[in-house]
Amino acid sequence: MKVTRRDLLVWSAGAAAGLIVTPVPWKLLDDTSIWSQNWPWIPQPARVPVEMKQSSCTLCPNGCGLRVRMAAGWPVGVAGLSTHPVTRGALCPLGFAAHQLNWHPQRLRTVRHRGSNSSWSEAQRAFAKARAEGPIVIIDGYPGRAASSVLETFAQKQNGSYRVVEGPETRALKPYASWSGVPASALGYDLENAETVISFGAPMLDGWGAPGRFTRLWAERAAGRSDPQLRLIQIDSTLSRTAARSWQWISIRQGSESTLAAGLAAALLEQKLVPARGPIPAVSVDEAAMQTGMTADAIRELARTIVGRTPAVAIAADDNPSIAALNLLLGAVGTLGGIVRRSKDAVDHIAAGDAISSARAVLIDASVPWDFIHQTDAEVFRFAAWDGGSTKADWLLPVPGFLEELTDVPTAPALAVETYAVAPSLVKPASEVQSAAQFLATVEPSLIPAEKIIHTRCYNIFRALKGNVHGDEITPVAKFASAQKLEAQLWKGAVWVGEASPPGGIRCELKGWPAAPVLGAAENWSALWPAPVLPPLASKLYNESSLREAPDRRTV
Ligand code: SF4
């Protein structure tokens, strides 16, 4: 069964809305003996006292808060952490079942070289040879971690290139980055203060962003109300799950989102609903009506509705400069309830989808989606915890599995404020594994190890005296007596949340109305990447929950 990341996140939208407040997940998790009969590779949990630990899921950059039930040193159940400031108890099925992943039959336990068993020393020798012969490209699917810093530093020392895989939420922020010079990874949507959200096909209630974030806002401020505090206008060619639950669904022809954004801009200016700031769209309201399938009057009315309750912000499903230009016209960039700058320190990176030429070797971190396709003739060193099947990699290198490695959890994509958490190693790896960062540290001993970088980051948070630490209670950073005490809280599963940035800080220079984007092949592999393996509980949750969308659902 091929289940994609979007499928899993779709499910999590429902989980956030209701499932976590029912006993269903716990009931399912209690059925461990049944799981063990059906999937004999999952060991029976020992009959010992169960200990509860708090942490964060590191299987994707959303970093959901976890409650992990541990028995005899290994995890036997996972649930969402209700005190997590972003996900507030929501998880996707992969997270709910992550404790089963480490025993999956496709778990990588040995170094493989072109299909045969090899060893770490062979891999090190091959990598050292490649390094001596030419440039190295390093690809990271979860940038911003301490481990990412190790990968990037190595690439710099090597005169190589460090590239990142970005999700659709980050790519949708790219136009503001190119117009303002502020990296997309430093930007976010202040949805918590928005009153109108115009989604151009972004699955806001259907797998967009961190599980639980928007779905909670929707449940608290809008669901079931005829005049909600938060209006969600969903522009979609079909009755998607988000469209069906939104305040207003606007049906347009598939692929005409950019034209509608330009038409709305024309309608806003024509009716003097906004000041004429920035470039004028080349499309008239009538032309937009013809191309989108809406009437001109409907576009004008939609423009009035959008400014009827502000702050209003438009959200694109992916990189779409026309929709970003509409936000500029709406005054939604650098303002409360719009696009905000959450960080001053982030830097821009080259996208991993760009062609790799003249590299001697490519190192792919375990965080990169399994089906990432690299157009290269270079020798490929692929780090992974699970073997997802056919791959072009020359080397397959086993990494620590779920909760087997200390890592940090930087801000999830599209959040309006910075967050930071630490996921300590709770489980001892059963086989000889190394993360890409650990591997590079053996090759280049001058690299600062990720663990030390995590200490420094905790110390910097303490020294800056900003924000709060969200654990069982919320404690201002200024109240911590020492950096060690703050770090100890993070190691126990607490999450640091920074302060909201003051308005401003994003000055966009846009000379002409942007052309409609040409969507590249890269669109699919980060939005729709299939999980390399799926644990049985996740399959069951996905297949048997009524939250799975019926195939004919989107046909209207
Ligand atoms: S969305 Fe990502 S971080 Fe959250 S539970 Fe699922 S895999 Fe883990």
Element (H, E) at 241: helix 241-245
pLDDT of residue 58: 94
- Tokens for 249, please give them: 């669904």
Going by DSSP bridges, is the β-strand pair 116-117/419-423 parallel, antiparallel, or unpaired?
unpaired
185 lies in the same domain as 323: yes
> CATH number for the domain including 96?
3.30.200.210
**Which of these three, 345, 370, 389, is where a domain ends?**
345
Phi, psi dihedral angles at 262 (to 5 degrees) = -65, -40
Q: Could you tell me if residue 133 is inside a domain? A: no
- Tokens for 304, please give them: 């009035």
Which residue stretches of 281-404 are H helix?
285-292, 296-308, 321-330
223 lies in the same domain as 304: yes
448-451 contact pairs (CB < 8 A, 24+)? 448/149, 448/150, 448/153, 449/150, 450/145, 450/146, 450/147, 450/149, 450/150, 450/406, 450/407, 450/408, 451/146, 451/406
The Cα–Cα gap between 123 and 382 comes to: 11
320 lies in the same domain as 234: yes
Q: Could you tell me if residue 321 is inside a domain? A: yes
201 lies in the same domain as 340: yes
If you search the block for the tokens 């110390």, which residue do you land on?
A: 459
Q: Is 357 strand, coil or helix?
A: coil
Structural domain for 10, as ranges: 5-37
60 lies in the same domain as 178: no
State if residue 55 touches ligand 1 by the CB under 6 angstroms criterion: no
Q: Could you tell me if residue 208 is inside a domain? A: yes
The Cα–Cα gap between 377 and 433 comes to: 26
State if residue 85 touches ligand 1 by the CB under 6 angstroms criterion: no
**Which of these three, 88, 103, 118, is where a domain ends?**
103
Ligand 1 probe mutation, 94, 408, 533, most atoms within 8 A of CB: 94
**Which of these three, 103, 122, 140, is where a domain ends?**
103
59 lies in the same domain as 197: no
Contact 306, 200 (CB under 8 A): no
Q: In ligand 1, which atom is closest to the CA atom of 91?
A: 5
Ligand 1 centroid to residue 497 C-alpha, Å: 19
The Cα–Cα gap between 237 and 256 comes to: 9
183 lies in the same domain as 323: yes
Burial 298-322 (b: 16+ CB within 10 A, else e): bbbebbebbeeebbbbbbbbbbbbb
Report how far apart, in Å, the C-alpha atoms of 357 and of each of 151, 293, 353, 364, 436 are.
19, 43, 12, 15, 22
Q: Could you tell me if residue 311 is inside a domain? A: yes
Ligand 1 centroid to residue 546 C-alpha, Å: 20
pLDDT of residue 479: 97
Element (H, E) at 168: helix 168-171
pLDDT of residue 521: 39
Contact 335, 533 (CB under 8 A): no
State if residue 10 touches ligand 1 by the CB under 6 angstroms criterion: no
305 lies in the same domain as 214: yes
CA end-to-end span of the chain, whole Å?
26
State if residue 316 touches ligand 1 by the CB under 6 angstroms criterion: no
> CATH number for the domain including 233?
3.40.228.10
**Mean pLDDT for each 10-residue chunk of the chain (556 residues)?**
56 42 38 51 72 94 94 89 94 86 90 96 96 94 96 94 92 95 95 97 90 92 87 95 94 95 97 89 95 98 97 96 96 96 86 78 93 82 90 93 96 96 92 95 94 97 97 96 97 96 86 72 44 67 55 47
179 lies in the same domain as 85: no
Helices and strands (H and E) in the chain: how many? 19, 22
Q: Could you tell me if residue 467 is inside a domain? A: no
Ligand 1 centroid to residue 410 C-alpha, Å: 14
pTM over 0.85, yes/no: yes
13 lies in the same domain as 87: no
Number of structural domains in the chain: 3
Q: Could you tell me if residue 470 is inside a domain? A: no
pLDDT of residue 539: 64
Short-list 272, 279, 198, 196, CA closest to 508 = 279
Q: Could you tell me if residue 248 is inside a domain? A: yes
Q: Could you tell me if residue 393 is inside a domain? A: no
CA atoms within 13 A on the CB side of 320: 24
User: Residue 465 corresponds to which amino acid?
Assistant: L
Which residues, listed in sequence order, are joined to residue 497 by a DSSP beta bridge? Answer: 419, 468
Q: In ligand 1, which atom is closest to the CA atom of 92?
A: 6
- Tokens for 141, please give them: 């699917």
Ligand 1 probe mutation, 11, 55, 58, 92, most atoms within 8 A of CB: 92
Q: Is 335 strand, coil or helix?
A: coil
328 lies in the same domain as 220: yes
Nearest-CA residue for ligand 1 atom 6 is 92
CA atoms within 13 A on the CB side of 195: 12
List of E strands, 437-494: 468-470, 474-476
13 lies in the same domain as 58: no
